[in-house]
Amino acid sequence: MSATTEKRRVTCIVCPSGCRINVEIEGGKIIEISGNQCKRGADYATTEVTQPMRVLTTTVRLENGRLLPVKTSHPIPKALLFDAIKELSGVVVKPPVKMGQVVYSNVAGTGVDVVATRSWD
Amino acid sequence: MQNRELVIIGGGPAGLSAAVEARRLGIEDVLVIDRESEPGGILKQCIHTGFGLHIFKEELTGPEYAERFIRKAEALGVEIMLDTMVIELTSDRRIVAVNGREGLVEIQAKAIILAMGCRERTRGAIKIPGFRPAGIFTAGTAQRFVNIEGYMPGCEIVILGSGDIGLIMARRLTLEGAKVRCVVEIMPYSNGLTRNIVQCLEDYSIPLLLKHTVVNIHGKKRVEGVTIAEVDDEMKPIMETAQFIPCDTLLLSVGLIPENELSRMAGIEIDDVTGGPVVNQRLETSVPGIFACGNVLHVHDLVDFVTQEAMEAARGVASYLADGGKKYDHIPVTAGEGLRYVLPQRINVEAMTGEKQNFFMRCARPMARARLYVESERGVIESRLLSHVKPSEMISIKLGRDELKGVKMLKFILQEEGDKIECND
Ligand SMILES: Cc1cc2nc3c(=O)[nH]c(=O)nc-3n(C[C@H](O)[C@H](O)[C@H](O)COP(=O)(O)OP(=O)(O)OC[C@H]3O[C@@H](n4cnc5c(N)ncnc54)[C@H](O)[C@@H]3O)c2cc1C
Ligand code: SF4
C-alpha cells in the first residue's frame, strides 16, 4: 500500500505574525513545511503535528461542595485532555488546600501532577 | 463617620495592586472595599492560564495572579473590607457603603482610587429580535456558573462575539462535555488573541464565522435555536444567507463597559469613547483627589497592564497627598486618525510622577504594519513603527519628560504602512 499524503494547517502562535503554516505528512513523516516565515515556526508546526501539548485548567470538587480551580503542573498531550477531565471529575479534595499543592498525581497516565491554583482554608 | 487616608473602591487586580503600591510608597492607612466575599475581582473565575507574563514572567491562572497580590496586600497591612458595597460617592470624597455587619458605613477619605472594574454588555445593548427565552447568558456569567458555582449553562451552544472571554468559554464548555456549534463574529476579524483562536477554537474544530451575526433567536421558554446570517460591508445582514442553527444556549461576548455609576454620582467627567473617567498624568479624574485605574478607567485585555496602571494611580495619590491638592493646568492629549482613544486625556508635564509618562491607546482597525506619530503644536516629536496592531490589543508607549517639555498639545496618529520595510529608524 502506498503512503498517502496528509496535509495539515497550523496557525503559528510563537509571535504576533500568526503565520498559516502548511505541513505535508507522508507515512507518518513530515515531508514539507511551508508558509512559515522563520525556523521557530517550523519547530512549532512540527510539535503541533506530531505531539501537541497543552496545560489543562479545570476545577475539582472540595469536600465542602465548592469548586477548587486546578491545573496540570506541566503540559500534557492534547489528545489526553478529555481523558484527564474525565478522571478529575471524580476527584474530591479535603480542605485546607494551599496554592501549588498537588491534589492528584499521574493524571491520564501522563506522569504529570495536578495542582491547586488557589488556597482554601 | 470614619476618617481614612486612602480608600480604594474595588478589590480586583486594580484595587489590590494600587493598595500594595500605596503601602510601599509609605501611605499608612489604606482601605480596600469590595462587595464580594473574597478579594480578586474577575480573576477568581478566570481559571485559565494567560495572566502575569509581563509582571511575573510566568504564565499564571487568574486565581494564582490574584492570590499573589492578596498575600502582598495582607503582608503590607492593607485593610480589606469585604461583603461591603459602596452605594454613594460625593465630590468632596465622602463614601457611603453598606454591609450586613455594620449597616451603613460613612467614610471621609483624603484620597480615593476607583477600581470598580467593568460589566458585560447584555443583549439589550445590541438588540437582537425574538422572544426572551431562558438560555441567553453573557460569556462572563457562564464562566462564573461553570468555574465557581459548578453547573453548565447548556448543552448545545452558539457564541456571539469573538472576544477572548467567549473563546475561553468555547473551550471550557467543550471540555465539560457541551457541543459548541460555532462562534459568530460580525467584524471581518476576530477580537480575540490569535493564541485563543488556535487553542480554544481550532483545537476543538469549532468554526469561527467572521462577518456573520445572529439575526433571530428562536424558542419561547428556552432557546431552541438561532438564525445567523452573513453581513455586508455596512454590517447589514444579507437575508439570503440566513441559516438556522439548533442550540439551547446563546452566549454573548460582545464587549465590556466600565462600571461608572459611582463616578457619575460624584460628578466626575466621563469620556464618551472609553466609557471611563477623563484623567490626567497621574490618573486623577476631573474631581481632585479621586483617581481611577483598571477596567473602570478603560477596558483592558491584559491584567499586567491593569497592575501597571494601578501602580501609577498609587503614585498619583502619593503626589497628591504630598502637594496638598495643588491646582495644575493641563495640556490636551487627543487621538487622531487610526486611533480610537489615548489615555491620559490631559497632562501636566511639570507634575509628572516619574521621568516617563505612559500613554495607553487602542487602534481603530487591525494593521499589519503601522507608524505611530506623536504631534505637538511644533509638528511630529516622535514616531514608532509597530507591527500587528489590533483593536483588541492595547498599545502602550512611554514618552520622556525632555521630549514633552514645553509642548502645548499632543495628538497621536496611527498610519498604516506598506509591506516594504523602510530602514529609517
Ligand atoms: C471574564 C474576563 C476574562 C478575562 N480574561 C483575561 C485573560 O485571560 N488574561 C488577562 O490578562 N486578562 C483577562 N481579562 C482582563 C483582566 O482580567 C481584567 O482586565 C482585570 O481583571 C480587571 O481588573 P479590575 O480590578 O479593574 O476589575 P475587576 O477584576 O472586575 O474588579 C473589580 C472589583 O470591584 C468590585 N466592585 C465594583 N463595584 C463595587 C462597589 N460599588 N462597591 C464595592 N465593590 C465594588 C467588584 O466586586 C470587583 O471585585 C479578563 C476579563 C474578564 C472580564
Ligand atoms: S512562523 Fe515565525 S514569523 Fe511566522 S508566526 Fe511563527 S514565529 Fe512568527
Shared domain for B11 and B107, answered yes or no, is yes
The model's pLDDT over B155-183, given as tens digits with 9 standing for 90+, comes to: 999 999 998 999 999 999 999 999 999 99
Residue range B291-324, pLDDT digits in tens: 999 999 999 988 999 999 999 999 999 999 998 8
Ligand 1 in contact with B135 (CB < 6 A)? no
Let me know whether A72 and A23 are in one domain.
no
Residues B204 and B232 in one domain: yes
Give the N- to C-terminal CA distance of chain A in Å, as an integer: 61
Of B150, B197, B387, the CB nearest to A16: B387
Q: Are residues A66 and A44 in the same domain?
A: no
Same domain? For A67 and A108 the reply is yes
Proportion of chain A in helix, strand, coil states, percent, rounded to 5: 20, 40, 40
Residues B231 and B279 in one domain: no
End-to-end CA distance of chain B: 58
Condensed to tens digits (0 to 9), the pLDDT of residues A8-44 reads 889 898 877 788 899 999 988 899 999 999 999 999 9
- Give dist(CA A85, CA A111) in Å, integer: 15
A121 in a structural domain: no
Q: Which of B327, B348, B382 marks a domain boundary?
A: B327
Single residue among A15, A31, A50 that ends a domain in this structure: A50
Tally the domains of chain A. Answer: 2
Q: Degrees (nearest 5) of the Cα angle A120, B52, A80?
A: 70
**A78 shares a domain with A35:** no
B63–chain A Cβ distance below 8 A for any pair? yes
* CB distance A11 to A22 below 8 Å: no
Among the candidates B254, B280, B312, a domain finishes at B254
Question: In Å, how far is A69's CA from the nearest CA of chain B?
Answer: 6
Q: How far is CA B201 from CA B171, B175, B229, in A?
A: 7, 12, 20
Q: Which of B235, B254, B273 is the last residue of a domain?
A: B254
Give the type of residue at A43: D
Residue to test with chain B: of A23, A62, A71, most B Cβ within 10 A: A71
Which residues make beta-bridge pairs with B158? B182, B250
**Are residues A61 and A109 part of one domain?**
yes
C-alpha cell at B332: 490636551
B183 and B287 share one domain = no
What is residue B122's predicted lDDT score, i.e. its pLDDT?
A: 80
> In terms of residue numbers, what domain contains A81?
57-116
Using the Cβ of A101 and the Cβ atoms of chain B, whether some distance falls under 8 Å is answered with no
Please check whether residues A36 and A68 belong to one and the same domain: no
Encode B298-347 in three state secondary structure.
CCCCCHHHHHHHHHHHHHHHHHHHHHCCCCCCCEEEEECCCEEEEECCEE
The Cα B73–Cα A69 span in angstroms is: 22
**What is each CA distance from A57 to A68, A97, A115, B326, in whole angstroms?**
11, 17, 10, 49
Q: For residue B295, what is the DSSP state?
A: G
**Same structural domain for residues A33 and A64?**
no
Residue among A16, A116, A15 nearest A67 (CA): A116
pLDDT at B327 over 90: no
Q: Are residues A12 and A38 in the same domain?
A: yes
> Nearest CA of chain B to the CA of A16: how many Å?
6
Alpha helices in B374-418 (DSSP H): 401-404
Residues of the domain holding B372: 328-425
- Going by the DSSP 8-state scheme, the letter that residue B149 receives in this structure is I
CA distances from B333 to A55, B234, B250, B360 (A): 42, 31, 40, 11
Bridge pairing between strands B2-9 and B30-33: parallel
B413 DSSP 8-state letter: E
pLDDT tens digit string along B213-255?
A: 999 999 999 999 999 999 999 999 999 999 999 999 999 998 8
A111 and A65 inside one domain:
yes
Give the C-alpha separation, B266 to B95, whole Å: 10
The grid coordinates listed for B82 are 469585604
- In what helix (H) or strand (E) does residue A46 lie, and over which residues does it extend? helix A39-50
Domain finish residue from A19, A34, A50: A50
A17 lines ligand 2 (CB under 6 A): yes
Query: Looking at the domain assignment, is residue A88 inside a domain?
Result: yes
The pLDDT tens digits of the residues spanning B91-123 come to: 999 999 999 999 999 999 999 999 999 999 886
Tell whether B68 and B44 lie within a shared domain.
yes
B264 within 8 A of B278, measured Cβ to Cβ: no
Q: Could you tell me the distance, in angstroms and rounded to a whole number, from the CA of residue B14 to the centre of ligand 1?
A: 8
Number of domains present in the structure of chain B: 3
Cell of B173: 464548555
d(CA A19, CA A11): 6
Residues B214 and B161: beta-carbon distance below 8 Å = no
Contact of B2 with chain A, judged by CB distance below 8 Å, is answered with no
**Residue B376's CATH number:** 2.60.40
Say yes or no: B322 and B340 in one domain: no
Co-location of B137 and B248 in the same domain: yes
Query: A64 with A111, same domain?
Result: yes
**Residue B19, number of CB atoms within 10 A of its CB:** 30
Residue B371 φ then ψ, to 5°: -115, 130
Alpha helix segments (H runs only) across B150-302: 164-175, 194-196, 261-265
Q: Let me know whether A41 and A88 are in one domain.
A: no
Distance from CA of A110 to the nearest CA of B (A): 18
Q: In this structure, what CATH number is given to the domain that contains residue A25? A: 2.20.25
Out of A18, A117, A119, closest to residue B47 by CB: A117
- Considering the domain architecture, whether residues B313 and B363 belong to the same structural domain is answered as no
CATH number of the domain encompassing residue A100: 3.10.530.10
Say if residue B7 is in the same domain as residue B75.
yes
**Across-strand partners of A24?**
A7, A32
Shared domain for B312 and B354, answered yes or no, is no
Q: What is the pLDDT of residue A87?
A: 96
Model pLDDT for residues B342-398, shown as the tens digit of each residue: 999 999 998 898 899 999 999 999 898 999 999 999 999 999 999 888 888 899 999
pLDDT value at residue B123: 66
Grid cell locating B266: 460624584
Do B57 and B90 sit in the same domain of this protein?
A: yes
A66 with A46, same domain: the answer is: no
Answering whether pTM is above 0.95, one says no
Last residue of a domain, one of A33, A50, A67: A50
ipTM exceeding cut-off 0.85 for this assembly? yes
DSSP per-residue letters across A4-38: PEEEEEEE--SSTT--EEEEEEETTEEEEEES-SS
Residue A94 belongs to some domain of the structure: yes
Chain B touched by A117 (CB under 8 Å): yes
Q: Are residues B365 and B406 in the same domain?
A: yes
